[in-house]
A and B are shown apart, each in its own frame.
Chain A
Amino acid sequence: MDATISPKVQETSGITPLGVAAPPRAGGIRISPINKRRWQNFKANRRGYWSLWLFAAMFLLSLFAEFIANDKPFLVKYAGQYYFPALFTYTETAFGGEFETAADYRDPYVQKLISDSAGYMVWPPIRYSYDTHNLDLPTPAPSKPTWLLTEKECQPVVERKGLRGCADLEWNWLGTDDQGRDVLARLIYGFRISVLFGLVLTVISSIVGVAAGAVQGYFGGWTDLLFQRFIEIWTSIPSLYLLLIISSVLVPGFFVLLGILLLFSWVSLVGLVRAEFLRGRNFEYVQAARALGVSNAKIMFRHLLPNAMVATMTFLPFILSSSVMTLTALDFLGFGLPPGSPSLGELLSQGKANVQAPWLGLTGFFAVAIMLSLLIFIGEAVRDAFDPRKAFA
């Protein structure tokens, strides 16, 4: 065959292997030319590239949610001393109060104690945490976003607190939910927990799935046969019902949910990795490694896993988005995270229950839609990046 017909051969013929001896390095890590090429392909997909940055920025911001939306100031100066309530818990007595309980910095009494000592408080931009109830609601909860309130609606609160108008109220940018909690604060925390949950679930189920697929594909034969049948039976269990049963027995916390979802989500990668290993185990370089006496575990790890990683990496963003989706769905049904936790699914179910308060449903909808769209866009770009036709072209 002539070189120019097959792209695989094409690359080798034109390049003389003489020249620079040092491997390409970037930041002390060796980056293989293939990976460099992939990164360029990824960047070439502008939508995916920008989605990655946007998503990363949002996720990074949400990691610092305590400094963005919190009912505790992050710095208090009281009697010449500095306190960091966002990080540590102080009792009210620390600020000269009466109770041994944790200080409530939103309480006008505590605020007065601090300002009387010539101290001050530095607040995050949003003075609510996800579980803070706004006690000064102008309308019954769920309450509108502050910028939608009329002066008439504000009047009772404005008069009671001696303010001038609606604009002087503590703002709920996206309104409150049916318990008077700030929706924006809950959104930020909810986004964080969704993504974290999704990431952890994705990573663990990928590890389990890749390991299972690798063993099946590499050893084949009976191992493969029995494992495959097991997976077939396992996946035919209706997972949602099982989840409902388990969550009625166990209290569904973050890790319990993670464990339960993991029981079923690890299967998604098995078929893919198994196929890669089945294909790869007869490659000549794997045979060559066997002839060298390299152990099975090493062959799987060094020679075959990199092949399977391409498929795995391509799938990761999609698995991540489906993990997020699953958690949201469970929360929506009320079988997810414990009551009171900030969650997008709970926000959506509140929106469903309170159709008269569209800010709940709309916020939930846009949050989920934007998050999943970004993940899908990233996923598409990753797929482009790992596309062998593009990586070698």
Chain B
Amino acid sequence: MTAMTGSAEKLIEVRDLSVAFRQGERELLAADRVSFDIKPGETVALVGESGSGKSVTALSILKLLPGSARHPSGSIRFKGRELMKLSEREIRHVRGNDITIVFQEPMTSLNPLHTVERQIAEVLELHAGVSGGAARARVVELLAQVGIPDPQSRLASYPHQLSGGQRQRVMIALALANEPDLLIADEPTTALDVTVQAQIIKLIKDLQARLGMAVLFITHDLGIVRKTAERVCVMRQGRIVEQGAVADVFADPQHPYTRELIAAEPKPDPAPLQPGAPAVIRADDLKVWFPVRRGFLRRTVGHIKAVDGVSIEVRKGETLGVVGESGSGKTTLGLAILRLISSQGPIVFMGKPLQGLKFKGMLRFRRDMQIVFQDPYGSLSPRMSLSDVIEEGLWVHHPGMPKAEREERVIRALVEVGLDPETRFRYPHEFSGGQRQRIAVARTLVLEPTFIVLDEPTSALDMLIQAQIVDLLRALQKRRELTYLFISHDLRVVAALASRVVVMRHGKVVEEGPAAELFARPKTDYTRALFAAAFNLETAAEGVVAQ
């Protein structure tokens, strides 16, 4: 095959693409001589951890990078045309027309002040010159195509009136408006629930088959790669370390990093059930109702029942997994149990009732019950050094502790979570997400608690790091006989940690039982749909889960 025919059958050819960012006086190389190509109608996945340069690579194709970026080397040929040399005017014609992009966060990618119709019609008018009634008809057609029920009535909706999944569908409709040859999907499902994620992936696959477009799928989730892509490029530190057909790469990974990535799925090894052990925490018929007030006198006209009559019990040494879609009340439940928000219904900790205790009364229990939050970037004060962050609890609960002992306990906690204690005078921004989550764990450990609420501690982390944090939590539980309440929408992580599982939906418990049994034989349709979406990225029959 000659070079001529070779390039003719490729839709896009990226050769030696480098991206450098100026940062003060330094220059950071975000992508380093990246080469790959996509054939028409093909799905290629770019996979890698955050910071590996996958989004940067994708954004370079459309020249969407900020002004501080430049390309030291590389060429991007799209249908034989060099994109790197196009002027701003010419590239605008390619954007939204030949190549379109769907971003991660559907809420911020749509203009909150424009209706759905206006957002999509704008693209149509800009690139295809269609307007008026014809545009409206096309918008309805597009919305139907992306599976929005009753599209006619949705035309006048604003983004906030749509659910997350629907917003992402609108984004896809936007991207499809001009029937592009290449769709770049930049982590389009990361911000969505598992059930919705499965629907969106299915939608993209269906549309691709119908319209014959190529898709560049950017993700950190290998499950998605396996499900959607034909070929995969594994990126690390700005380079493509391995690429090939998905089946080959998964069956026989060549690069050690790929092997590590594939092996990174958290291994199920939950804490054993402890039927005889005493209950560390128990809540009966717990309710968190937020009043809805209306009118001039702010009368309470109803309640949002975030947690509606949930009874749970966690025995010493066990891990109770709480799973459910976002909005199901999992996090609210965790906060209510720690009495960080007000609730009704008895909460008993180690045999002592907690409801009704004032700040002072709660103080002596705070030492024993701790929480680790989801977002490791938000949960550490950026203005306190590690040592200050970890010490804070000691100041509250052991005000008289001598400095040397305090320091020693900080060091011990850091060692325990696998961080170098020498780094304790540094500030959180110098650490990566996984390291920050370790710091957050160290902050709780320094008080030697018995019960820790883990509120999606792995959701904001990369696959590899997730597995490491799961291992860490498991090791700590064994060593210290900790009791966990593990809140997550990620069922793979729950399966790895939980001894018992509670499935929540709309503030109520749908199903509960020992983890092994529940995962093997889910009883309700909802649980089954949830599992199918999480483990196999399969969508459920209509009506079982939210759209």
Contacts and interface: CB of A to CB of B under 8 A. Distances in A.
Contacts of A306: 381, 383
Interface in B281-308: none
Given A5-B56, A5-B59, A8-B377, A293 B420 contact: no
B373 A34 contact: no
A112 interface: no
B379 A12 contact: no
B274 interface: no
A309 to B, nearest CB: 9
Interface string B179-210: 00000000100100000000000000000000
A176 to B, nearest CB: 54
Nearest to B19: A4
B427 A34 contact: yes
Interface string B341-357: 00000000000000000
Given A2-B53, A4-B55, A288-B371, A21 B338 contact: no
B374 to A, nearest CB: 8
Secondary structure class of chain A's binding surface, majority of residues? helix
B423 A21 contact: yes
A12 B19 CA distance: 19
Given A2-B50, A2-B51, 20 more contacts: A1-B104, A2-B52, A2-B56, A4-B21, A4-B53, A5-B55, A10-B21, A13-B50, A17-B430, A19-B422, A284-B374, A284-B378, A285-B378, A285-B380, A292-B397, A298-B396, A302-B381, A303-B381, A306-B383, A393-B24
Nearest to A285: B381
A94 interface: no
A287 interface: yes
Given A284-B379, A285-B379, A291 B338 contact: yes
Contacts of A32: 383, 385, 427
A1 B187 contact: yes
B381 A9 contact: no
20 contacts: A2-B52, A2-B55, A2-B56, A3-B50, A4-B21, A9-B50, A13-B51, A17-B430, A21-B423, A32-B383, A34-B382, A287-B373, A289-B381, A290-B340, A291-B338, A291-B340, A292-B392, A292-B443, A294-B393, A294-B396
Contacts of B377: 8-9
A285 B28 CA distance: 30
A11 interface: yes
Contacts of A22: 425
Contacts of B420: 17-18
A1 B55 contact: yes
Interface in B184-243: 187, 190
Nearest to B31: A4
A28 interface: no
Nearest to A35: B383
A15 interface: yes
Given A3-B50, A23-B385, A292 B340 contact: no
Interface string B1-28: 0000000000000000001010110001
A28 to B, nearest CB: 15
A209 B432 CA distance: 37
Contacts of A283: 378
A80 interface: no
A23 B425 contact: yes
Contacts of B426: 17, 23
A292 B429 contact: no
B123 interface: no
B235 to A, nearest CB: 10
A14 interface: yes
Interface of B: 19, 21, 23-24, 28, 30, 50-56, 59, 69, 104, 187, 190, 335, 338, 340, 359, 362-363, 366-367, 369-371, 373-375, 377-385, 392-393, 396-397, 419-420, 422-427, 429-433, 435-436, 440, 443, 447
A295 B397 CA distance: 11
A34 B383 contact: yes
A19 B423 CA distance: 7
From B338, B380, B426, residue with most partner A Cβ within 10 Å = B426
Given A2-B53, A3-B50, A18-B422, A11 B104 contact: no
Nearest to B28: A14
A293 B427 CA distance: 22
Given A9-B51, A11-B429, A21-B423, A4 B396 contact: no
Contacts of B423: 17-18, 21
A33 interface: yes
Nearest to A290: B340
Interface in A105-152: none
Contacts of A21: 422-425
Closest A-B pairs by Cβ, 3 of them: A2-B55, A3-B51, A293-B366
Nearest to A293: B366
A4 B393 contact: no
Contacts of A294: 392-393, 396
A33 B427 contact: yes
From A12, A283, A307, residue with most partner B Cβ within 10 Å = A12
Interface in A254-280: none
A22 B387 CA distance: 12
A365 to B, nearest CB: 42
Interface of A: 1-5, 8-15, 17-19, 21-23, 32-34, 283-285, 287-295, 298, 302-303, 306-307, 392-393
A339 B218 CA distance: 75
Contacts of A5: 55-56, 59
A294 B447 CA distance: 13
Contact of A12 (B104, B384, B430, B447): B430
A34 B23 CA distance: 15
Nearest to B423: A17
Contacts of B381: 285, 289, 302-303, 306
A290 B381 CA distance: 13
A1 B338 contact: no
A322 B393 CA distance: 42
A292 B50 contact: no
A11 B431 CA distance: 9
From A5, A10, A11, A293, residue with most partner B Cβ within 10 Å = A293
A12 B371 contact: no
Nearest to B369: A291
Contacts of A34: 382-383, 427
Contacts of B384: 302
Contacts of A15: 430
B438 to A, nearest CB: 11
Contacts of B430: 11-12, 15, 17
Contacts of B425: 21-23
Given A4-B21, A15-B430, A288 B104 contact: no
B425 to A, nearest CB: 4
A33 B426 CA distance: 9
Nearest to B421: A21
A293 B363 contact: yes
Given A1-B50, A288-B443, A10 B23 contact: yes
A292 B366 contact: yes
A298 B393 CA distance: 12
B383 to A, nearest CB: 4
